[in-house]
Structure 1
Amino acid sequence: MKSETPLFSFTVISDIQLTNENELSHQKLAHALQDLYELDKNSSALIMNGDLVADGKKQSYEKLSEVLESCPHTQEMYFTIGNHEFFQNDGNVPSIQRFLEFSKLDKVYYERKIAGHPFIFLGSESWGPVGTITKDSAVLSEEQLDWLSERMEEHRQGDMPVFVFLHQPLPYSLYGTDLLEYYQKGIIQSDELKNILSGIDNVFYFSGHSHFDLRFPNSIVKEPFTMINTGAIYDIWGPDGEGHEKVIDSTGSQGLFLQVYTDKVVIKGRDFTKKQWISEYQHNIPL
């Protein structure tokens, strides 16, 4: 039977790229959090899908905590690691450890239940090599992929949607990931990841990283599973027409508001700068 009211709602933002010194990054996050809270004070979760900080520094994580504590939001928050979390460039282990200390996690990949529904969070375990096209790509260990395969096999038997989060998009999927070599190599184990997620009903894969405007076409792709661009809090980017990319709106700030029903998932893009829905990004995905 079709449901007239949502079972629950949640919000997704990414690419906050906050630093201790950059007050604009504090303001953009605070503005987005206020807007999301006003939209739905009873939202079940807030998910921050990577690039929480721009420089990977402890002081920036501390400032991020201050901003979060000063703004209204749901108490249920979940985080993934992005490429900028490694930007202090002092090695994978200390970079990951700072992220884990902030997020109060044991690993960069984990699963949680929100309103009884499975939410799976993935994360890169390495950054580099620096100086190569794969510097900012996600590196997923065999252990992480085996764990994901086990989790997805269990969920194959269920009838609930499965929400999966990784900062980097799959190559040749969302808008721009086929245009620029940087995104064509964005996940080192992309084939393995795609194979694990394929063939299972109602998988929703969320990624940020590109900062590409949610108004671009193919910001949601529905085959072989639903892949979703989560926008960016800090700056909106787009291709420059010459094989590279550039900032196209330095005042822009975007994210997602989702409602889960028994028979569909509603995904709405939000322009936080203007406090308006993005008309080009309003999707009803049947289950």
Structure 2
Amino acid sequence: MVNRRALITTAGIGALGATLAAGPAAAKPGNGKAKGKDKGNGSVTRFNVISDIQGDLNDLGVALEDMRTTNRASAGLAIAGDITPRGYDFEYAEVTKRMDKHAHPSTVAWAIGNHEFYVPKYKDPNTLAQDTWPNGVVEDSLFKSFYNFAGRNTIYEEFSFGGVPVLTIGTERYMRYYDEKRWDEVWMSEKQFTWLADRIAYWDRRNKPIMVITHHPLPNTVSGTRNKLYLSDYMQADRLLEVLAPYRNVFLFCGHTHWDLELSDWYTRRVVPASGNLVGFNVFNTGAIETGYTDNGQGGEKTVPGGFNQGLQVEVASDSVTVKARDFGRKAWMKEITVPLV
């Protein structure tokens, strides 16, 4: 059965309308620190994290305007995947056009999502043809479209939001091309894992909190990830846990589920006892720009009624990180949590 993660609906289509040296890798610069109170050094670095635009460009515009109001001196914007409904070049162009209409940080950290790989489901932009998948579309073209849009040539990348390291990760294969029994599962190369481990260790030695942006959530973490729909997103979940688990000051931000930030498990600490870190690392649900979901009480999910347009504001001080959930449509704060740094 085709579910909402594997198929973009007709309604979704209609909604379209210098480097910072840092050891062995480099970070893209942010545009400064937003000032705020901090007992340590007198400043707080603020940035936003959103995900799952999926063609809802009107709500994206609303979110950008609200972020400009609440976080005018933002050091960056991270977008955790599902940038487009299907991954067509014209859909990426529509996102760029809408972004250009609104003030936003000069540094945007894009992560790739599963919807960036949905062009092969279509005979043409108006004709769904899953029976003839991949409809002549080669895998490499999907990655090239993302790279051209994001202005880089790798899935994984490091950015700096006012001195705060931000690492984007994601799949390096669309698994349907390799196994007809698969669709959206995340596959990461050993090169990506090594890069991620090296960068986290580098910044941890410098007592920096490390922000990791990924589209798919790890199982048994935040809202929705104990649901059968999201238990098998990563083909190498244990390997990713092995990299993240030792570090108390890692903050993992993930989208994909669209689950409501009103839920109590929007934030958690994931503990892997074998890592020696019995406090765990931090995991946050990012909400979504397009359509919200929540538990249906029967092992599945249901749509959140009414408008839905949610994301996060992150505030990094010298001794803590505060994450605030925001309803962009209602222009209201939903909840927040402050995590001490160690």
Query: Normalised by the size of structure 2, how large is the TM-score?
Result: 0.77
Deviations 1:79-129 (A, max 9, x none): 000000001023431111101100101101011222222211101112233
1:2 alignment partner in structure 2: 39
1:133–1:273 CA distance, 2 compared to 1 (3 A): farther
Q: What is the correspondence of 1:195-274 to structure 2 with a 5 Å cutoff?
A: 195-223=242-270, 224-249=280-305, 251-274=307-330
What is the DSSP-based 3-state SS (H/G/I as helix, E as strand, rest coil) of the residue aligned with 1:218?
Answer: helix
Pick one of 196, 205, 209 that aligns with 1:148.
196
1:51-62, aligned counterparts within 5 Å? 51-62=82-93
- Percent identity (aligned): 31
Matched, 1:163 2:211: yes
**CA distance, structure 2, for counterparts of residue 156 and residue 259 of structure 1:** 18
Assess if the C-alpha contact under 8 Å between 1:44 and 1:74 holds in 2: yes
What residue in structure 2 maps to residue 86 of structure 1?
A: 117
- 8 Å CA contact 1:236–1:250 kept in 2: the answer is no
The one-letter code of the counterpart of 1:204 is F
Counterpart residue number, 1:21:
none
Name the aligned partner's letter for residue 324 of structure 2: K
Which stretch has the larger CA shift, 149-158 or 59-68? 149-158
Q: Which amino acid aligns with 1:47?
A: A
Of 269-278 and 130-139, deviating more is 130-139
Query: Per the alignment, do residues 255 and 153 of structure 1 end up closer, same or farther by CA in structure 2, a change over 3 Å counting?
Result: same
Q: Which amino acid aligns with 1:186?
A: D
1:151-193 per-residue CA deviation (whole Å, 9 max, x = no partner) reads: 223233221101111100101111221122x211011111000
Rounded to whole Å, the distance in 2 between the matches of 1:139 and 1:6 is: 39
Q: CA deviation at 1:132?
A: 7.1
Given that residues 175 and 186 in structure 2 are in contact (C-alpha distance below 8 angstroms), is that contact kept between their aligned partners in structure 1?
A: no
- CA distance in 1: counterparts of 2:106 and 2:203, whole angstroms: 26
Contact 1:156 1:201 (8 Å CA) reproduced: no
Native 8 Å contact 1:134 1:186 kept in 2: no
CA 1:135–1:5: 2 relative to 1, 3 Å: farther
Q: CA deviation at 1:265?
A: 0.6
Residue 67 of structure 2 corresponds to residue 36 of structure 1? yes
Partner SS for 2:75: coil
| 2:101 paired residue among 70, 88, 95 | 70
Larger-Rg structure: 2
1:277 match: 333
2:131 corresponds in structure 1 to: none
Give the 3-state SS of the residue equivalent to 2:119 in structure 1. coil
TM-score by length of 1: 0.92
Aligned equivalents of 1:239, 1:49: Cα separation in 2 = 22
Mapped partners of 2:244, 2:145: distance in 1: 29
Secondary structure at the aligned position of 1:274 is classed as: coil
When structure 1 is superposed on structure 2, of 189-198 and 150-159 the one drifting more is: 150-159
Which runs of no fewer than 5 residues in structure 2 stay unpaired?
1-37, 121-136, 271-279
How many residues of Structure 1 are paired with residues of Structure 2 in the alignment?
Answer: 278
Give secondary structure in 1 for the equivalent of 2:326. Answer: strand
For 1:45 and 1:94, locate their aligned partners in 2 and report how far apart those are by CA, in whole Å. 28
1:184 is aligned to 2:234: no
Distance 1:104 1:148 in 2: 20
Give the CA RMSD over aligned residues.
Answer: 1.8
In the alignment, the residues of structure 2 paired with residue 146 and residue 174 of structure 1 have an alpha-carbon distance, to the nearest angstrom, of 25
**1:127 is matched with which residue?**
174
CA distance in 2 between partners of 1:4 and 1:144 (Å): 34
Offset at residue 198 of structure 1 (A): 1.1
In the alignment, residue 94 of structure 2 is paired with which amino acid?
K
- 1: CA distance, partners of 2:181 / 2:63: 32
Aligned-pair distance for 1:243? 2.2
Contact 2:41–2:318 (8 Å) recurs in 1: no
CA separation of 1:92/1:245 partners in 2, compared to 1, >3 Å: closer, same or farther? Answer: farther
Measured in 1, the distance between the counterparts of 2:96 and 2:147 equals 13
Tell me the SS of whatever aligns to 2:170.
Answer: coil
